């Protein structure tokens, strides 16, 4: 159970107050996960239809800090038609104390190209431009 008041500082100062009621019950369960998702067309269409149909749910998420880490999962899992896999095929090292993705470099190249990922983040030319050059060379 969350406290009544929550202070969120990681992505800018925000103060949240726990909602007295939520749109969740035994018929609609709240789920959460990564904001980075890979969806096939049928899943994306289901999410869009859910956004149009589920007004109470959308109104609830308008008042949350990170709706993109729960709305898509909640709509898809409650839909029940899809076989969902907890793997977004993205490489990001989020093992730091604040959960933010660490900047990637040449030392990460073997993991990035291991074949387990379709995408990787975060890159910064000022941090290690060589890794991007090496990825470009590999694609040629």
Read off the pLDDT of residues 109-132 as tens digits, 9 standing for 90 and up: 999 999 999 999 999 999 999 999
Mean of pLDDT values over 60-64: 90
Give the CA distances from residue 75 to residues 39, 46, 52, 63, in Å, rounded to whole numbers and listed in that order: 13, 8, 11, 17
Give the CA distances from residue 11 to residues 46, 65, 84, 101, in Å, rounded to whole numbers and listed in that order: 29, 10, 29, 13
Residue 35's pLDDT band, with cuts at 50, 70 and 90, is: confident
Q: Check residue 17 and give its pLDDT.
A: 75
Residue 76's pLDDT band, with cuts at 50, 70 and 90, is: very high
pTM of the model: 0.75
């Amino acid at each position: 159970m969350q406290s009544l008041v929550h202070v969120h500082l990681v992505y800018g100062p925000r103060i949240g107050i726990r909602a007295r009621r939520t749109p969740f019950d035994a018929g609609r369960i709240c789920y959460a996960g990564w904001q980075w998702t890979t969806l096939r067309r049928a899943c994306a269409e289901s999410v869009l239809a859910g956004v149009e149909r589920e007004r109470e749910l959308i109104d609830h998420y308008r008042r949350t800090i990170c709706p993109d880490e729960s709305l898509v999962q909640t709509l898809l899992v409650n839909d029940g038609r899809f076989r969902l896999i907890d793997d977004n095929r993205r490489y990001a090292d989020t093992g730091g104390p604040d959960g933010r993705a660490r900047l990637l470099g040449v030392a990460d190249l073997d993991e990035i190209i291991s074949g387990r990922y379709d995408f990787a983040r975060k890159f910064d030319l000022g941090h290690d431009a060589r890794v991007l050059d090496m990825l470009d060379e590999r694609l040629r």
